[in-house]
Chain A
Amino acid sequence: MYKNLYSYPFLETAYQGKPYYKLEELYDYVTSEGYEKHVINHLDRNLYTSLNEHVRDNLIFLRETGLPSHKQEQFNFSNLNKLFNRDILNTNELAVSYLDRIEKFDYLVDPDVLNEIILCDSNVLASETLSKRRPYNLQILDISKINKNRHLEYVKLLDNTDNFSNLTYGLSRFPNVIVFPNGSKERFYKNPIKIKYANSSDEPILECNTTIIDVQYDTSVKIKESIQTRAGQMNYTTYIVRENSTLEIERNSNDFGGWSLFDSRFICHPGSTVKIKFKNTGSSYTQENFYFKISSDVNVELIGRNNIFKGNEYHQFVRVRSVDHDNRSIVDIKNVGDEHARTSFVGKYEINSTSIGFDGQMDNRNLMLSPTANMHTRPILDIYTKEIACTHGCTISNVDKDQLYYLQSKGFDKHSAKSLLIDSFLC
């Protein structure tokens, strides 16, 4: 996001008769006695304090990087009513639900698919087979199943990843946790788990899918993610990749009309590898962010191929923060912008003074197909030590006229030639 919204009020108090809520009011709610009582009763004081700080950071973060003004009308906080009226920390409402028991999510369920996890309306749904010892033995934990110590461990881990917070993370209940156990090299690689992010409502919701995916030691995991947003939706997933583990993600986002905010945070322990391939077509407003905190001997590959359809918006923030030696990172993102598409890319490499041997590349190439498109790119390097090799590059241009002519001279009509060139760009 390249707009700093600090200077104007985010969310007016009324728009077309529907109530909207200022962020300050939201803040008032979560710092109110009622909220405090809920949290402390169900969890504990320390957690309340850190949640509070999270919320405050969230609000600032969202205010600064939130939606552009013309999208405000779509960001409807009317769900705040739900918050005021109900106890979102009431753990009785939660349970890991089996696919065949939750009717309202019927439409999301494909009965033939057995290795799928559905994250919907901040619930986690998974088929029974996933938690069975063979072949998966996944631990799928929601707040009712997670013990206090484990809980605090996660809180500490998340806290340590430097000020990254998200509004809804603070507001919604503690994340659902999916744990891939130690030492499985093949199980989750040969049979990738599918994860679907969805929301059931026709209205954008405040409660997002907050998830922690914990890939334990010496494990290789492959996940296929799909994101379907009917109305507005916020997803916030923290991926913890522990020592010597590998996590590969293939993510596809499809535009079903709604807007989408997806923050993915990766905490990479020494010796881990994370490879992500993602595709997005944008939406009325999409913000897809990736944050990496990498310790030592970590290998990160983030490859995005986004063909942003007419009139869609796609904004991206990528931050790789290296805090120790011998990390490698490749960020390679290509965007295609059609008529009236708006895209922005802000990428940041933050390399601290102990990141000796860091080797990084960042590439953002943009294909601008129409004069009505609006494309912005900002690759940033912030480096504190000389023992590194870091490059970045970006381009913005249209389809190459010479290549177009070449294909046309071979018999392709203009449209097909252009399509061919767009496809080859996105390879």
Chain B
Amino acid sequence: MTIDNLQNNLYKEGFVTELESETFPAGLDETVVEKLSKIKNEPEWLLKFRLKAFKRWKEMSEPQWSELDYNPVDYQALSYHSAPKKFDKDEIPPEIFETFEKLGVPLHERDALLGLDTEKPKPDNLIPTVAVDAVFDSVSVATTFKAELEKHGIVFCSISEAVQEHPELVRKYLGSVVPYTDNYFATLNSAVFSDGTFCYIPKGVRCPMELNTYFRINARNTGQFERTLIIADEDSYVSYLEGCTAPAYDENTLHAAVVELVTHDNAEIKYSTVQNWYPGDENGIGGVYNFVTKRAKCEGKNSKVSWTQVETGSAVTWKYPSCILKGEGSIGEFYSVAVTKGKQQADTGTKMIHLGKNTKSTIISKGISFGDSTNTYRGSVKINPGASDASNFTKCDSLMLQDSRALTIPYITSLNDSAKVEHEASAGKISEEQMYYLATRGFDEDDAMNLVVNGFCKDVFQKLPLEFAAEANKLLSVTLEGAVG
């Protein structure tokens, strides 16, 4: 079995769901933005926000500084809205329900147990541990356990709903971490964002379940522009996971999302992503362009945000989940495993901006590459003059399973002499010694490689919520099949 003929066979999420949908015709101009806002019944201030962003976007041009090489996106050839034909949220169309079931995402509250596996037998009195917001193309089609969470004062709903029911919160925080002027794709998103998750955890509340948003692209030639906003008020805690998949189309699909996180004093947000967008076929045809802006603002003292990501999909990944460490004593963490194969390209990393005293950041990035892929870690650590006694530790390792391209590009600047910054990186392959040692213990090549790679990723996988660590492990071994050699 060669890697090539495994590429497509392995992406079992590449199916298409046939159903009636309302899709805007292709093209983007002010009228499309207005139409989008109207269809969602948005208030005036939000329409203004979108239009301001759109105006700005027209003046900007795509950044050229990355190592990425991709076919240009024709923004006029995409549709900016696609939703299953009007349905009642209490009665999810069977096609959608089946789709999510196939993907292992529990949409009915009774099915939510230890995460995503709906095949196990279900005891009756099991306490739910995962609440899900399912987004199908441009709309959220289901949100489980909303009522249960409301009892704790937690708001967990789609962002469109949040605009209607909690406009003051949305208005306060939208664009506060990623301003609409931030970068080309964030600006585009600010103009045409579709749906995403809004989450607010009130003071002192520890969210009792894992919150999970699952994004599923289905329609062809549409752009996906999720917008997620999570706010953790003082002394609160939430663990959030984002999952995503898409059909195996021949055209590239653009996914330009924006995620904003805000933590107040002593609050903590744990944000995990298992990204499995369609990576394109062995010749690099098709695949999702994953151009995402994710940023956290640790506003409050001693607040903490940790980003954990497992990136195995998408044709081109361009994202830097970052932390602005403003509050004194705040902590930012970034744990990442990025796997590239075939013709995939990833340029990912993080930015840790230390503003406040005693702030701390930890970066652990593991890149695994094979095939003709390019795997780049690009990270920035900036210690501003006010960040006395700040500290950063970064470890980037590249494991090349075959000759591919591995890049490590760290930018480290310190403007404060009491801070400590430490960065280590390594690149190489699985040593023959390790393979031989494991062979003497009875492991064949594939198993041995899996063990070594799992060991390589362990520091990152340990940071995932338990339920998803198992899924990530499985995803990793499926992705790696046949990579030996």
Any A CB within 8 A of the CB of B79? no
The CA-CA distance from A366 to B416 in the complex, in Å, is 12
Q: Do residues A382 and B403 form an inter-chain contact, with CB atoms below 8 A?
A: no
Any B CB within 8 A of the CB of A353? yes
Any A CB within 8 A of the CB of B77? no
Any B CB within 8 A of the CB of A376? yes
Q: Do residues A380 and B405 form an inter-chain contact, with CB atoms below 8 A?
A: no
Q: Do residues A377 and B408 form an inter-chain contact, with CB atoms below 8 A?
A: no
Contacts of B427 in A (CB 8 A): 381, 383, 388-391
Q: When A380-B409, A393-B423, A394-B423 are in contact, do A368 and B429 touch as well, CB less than 8 Å?
A: no
* Chain A min CB distance to B424 (Å): 5
Q: Do residues B407 and A375 form an inter-chain contact, with CB atoms below 8 A?
A: no
Any A CB within 8 A of the CB of B414? yes
* Chain B min CB distance to A68 (Å): 15
Q: When A386-B429, A392-B425 are in contact, do A378 and B410 touch as well, CB less than 8 Å?
A: yes
Any A CB within 8 A of the CB of B469? no
Q: Do residues A383 and B400 form an inter-chain contact, with CB atoms below 8 A?
A: yes
The CA-CA distance from A369 to B419 in the complex, in Å, is 11
Q: Do residues A395 and B425 form an inter-chain contact, with CB atoms below 8 A?
A: no
* Chain A min CB distance to B358 (Å): 15
Cβ contact of A368, chosen from B417, B425, B428, cutoff 8 A: B417
Contacts of A377 in B (CB 8 A): 410, 412-413, 423
The CA-CA distance from A398 to B414 in the complex, in Å, is 11
A391-427, CB under 8 A of B: which get 1 and which 0?
1111111100000000000000000000000000000
Q: Which residue of chain A lies nearest to B415 when distances are taken between CB atoms in the complex? A: A374
The CA-CA distance from A390 to B397 in the complex, in Å, is 10
Q: Which residue of chain A lies nearest to B391 when distances are taken between CB atoms in the complex? A: A397
Cβ contact of B412, chosen from A373, A378, A386, cutoff 8 A: A378
Chain B, interface residues (CB within 8 Å), range: 20 to 34
Cβ contact of B428, chosen from A370, A375, A388, cutoff 8 A: A388
The CA-CA distance from A373 to B415 in the complex, in Å, is 6
B93-113, CB under 8 A of A: which get 1 and which 0?
000000000000000000000
Chain A, interface residues (CB within 8 Å), range: 20 to 34
Cβ contact of A373, chosen from B417, B420, B428, cutoff 8 A: B417
The CA-CA distance from A144 to B426 in the complex, in Å, is 49
Contacts of B410 in A (CB 8 A): 377-380, 394
Q: Do residues A370 and B417 form an inter-chain contact, with CB atoms below 8 A?
A: yes
* Chain A min CB distance to B142 (Å): 44
Contacts of B344 in A (CB 8 A): none
Q: Do residues A393 and B414 form an inter-chain contact, with CB atoms below 8 A?
A: no
Q: Do residues B400 and A371 form an inter-chain contact, with CB atoms below 8 A?
A: no
The CA-CA distance from A387 to B416 in the complex, in Å, is 39
Q: Do residues A386 and B402 form an inter-chain contact, with CB atoms below 8 A?
A: yes
Q: When A380-B408, A383-B400 are in contact, do A395 and B421 touch as well, CB less than 8 Å?
A: yes
Any B CB within 8 A of the CB of A72? no
Q: Which residue of chain A lies nearest to B418 when distances are taken between CB atoms in the complex? A: A398
Q: Which residue of chain B lies nearest to A356 when distances are taken between CB atoms in the complex? A: B403
Q: When A370-B417, A375-B414 are in contact, do A385 and B403 touch as well, CB less than 8 Å?
A: yes
* Chain B min CB distance to A18 (Å): 33
The CA-CA distance from A387 to B427 in the complex, in Å, is 10
Any A CB within 8 A of the CB of B187? no
Q: Do residues B412 and A381 form an inter-chain contact, with CB atoms below 8 A?
A: no
The CA-CA distance from A323 to B252 in the complex, in Å, is 35
Closest 4 CB pairs of A and B: A386-B400, A386-B429, A397-B420, A381-B408
**5 CB-based A-B contacts, threshold 8 Å:** A374-B413, A381-B407, A386-B401, A386-B428, A390-B426
